[in-house]
Structure 1
């Protein structure tokens, strides 16, 4: 069992940190809104720290799950940042979905300071975090990953080292690119079924058993049909992620025409007031 700090207790981080405590690790948590850290400690029996630096002090592993590049820098750097409290030989594990550029920047600083850095974005949404069934894609030095993987296992269905620093984030971009096109296709399929006067449950029962089947179809078709979009990953966050994908594609020369189009469709959903709706809300745009 390890001494672990967890920074960021949102809809993903709160249950992920809980799995670490349930696995027997000694967990200290920190959150920008202190009340969340206090609530977590009361529920799981760990300790709440006043700053990221305090949480990181004495920890063998510091896990982090915040919002974006700027949030991550703020949590890591500065006099109250986690890096200021980390000991040589510790490993920082970043579960935030951010750019590969900020990952490499912070990994370099970590290396110069004598501790490891593993970028480890996750897929599986809130349900995956709550059930301890996340897919974790990692980048970093093999030795740092090998040490961190047994700790990450507390909430992972699968965890893989994809390459050097930044490779985890690049893999997460592949994940978001695939989801964007898939959800748009599913939205159009269900919308077409509605317009054709077909029974959506019956359509899905048949086509989900063939090549059209997907996790999104099995888990979201009913709520999409009912116009309910309060399940999981928000449109605002998806647009943040797709922005990272498109910016990286401009750098590496990848062509992402469908991703760029779906990003604009999500912009339309935001314009409808759906920034906090989940990503399956693309169908609402078609129903306008």
Structure 2
């Protein structure tokens, strides 16, 4: 009986303490106070002996065995340190692509201001000074970067800085080249809808024609007293989806060809090349 009485007292105390703890949305979604611990954002280097991780505005390289710092990279724009959101190394690890000032589009996709850092020459320059981009990615040989701007695909040769526009028909709410529409991003978790061939001579991409997809309006407050309407293409049940086609761009001759499928292929949820480039 005594044990039962003590158990009841402990339960009542626990309930009292728990009832006094206030859980807010900010704790859950901004501070991630109740998220599990983990080791996120690390990048293993080619030698298998080191890894890098973003720490503030620096990229730090650590030794796997000793966990000691081997090297630090910090980037400056004029006199100020560059505040970047994410980074990626080229395949040969001679260049770093830095994405900054990210703006969300849908759940995962973003618009970014991208910078390229040449490690050997200690040189930092902007990928495209004409506006933010989507889905910037190195070619397999590390000599080119493909990206989307204003729904069109571009390739920049980062050795001679030559810029090539691959598509010209990109138009908001109509044609998207190389980036996923809302459905593909939400349902197939596709953000970047293009892939480089292993030799860097071809670029395969999806083209979305969402012209017939109905528009949807959503009220966005974002700290304002009165909302602004955000409109995007959103197909409800029974409505038209985007018409999706697969294209291949040949870097050497500048030609684009469409890859045709059997009509039974309603969706193209993944694209890619085999290791031999096929």
Instruction: Tell me the TM-score range normalised by the shorter chain.
Output: under 0.3
Tell me which protein shows more strand as a share of its residues: 2
Higher relative contact order (CA 8 A, sep 6+): 1
Tell me which protein shows more helix as a share of its residues: 1
Q: Report the TM-score when normalising by structure 2.
A: 0.24
Q: Report the TM-score when normalising by structure 1.
A: 0.24
Which structure's CA Rg is the greater one? Answer: 2
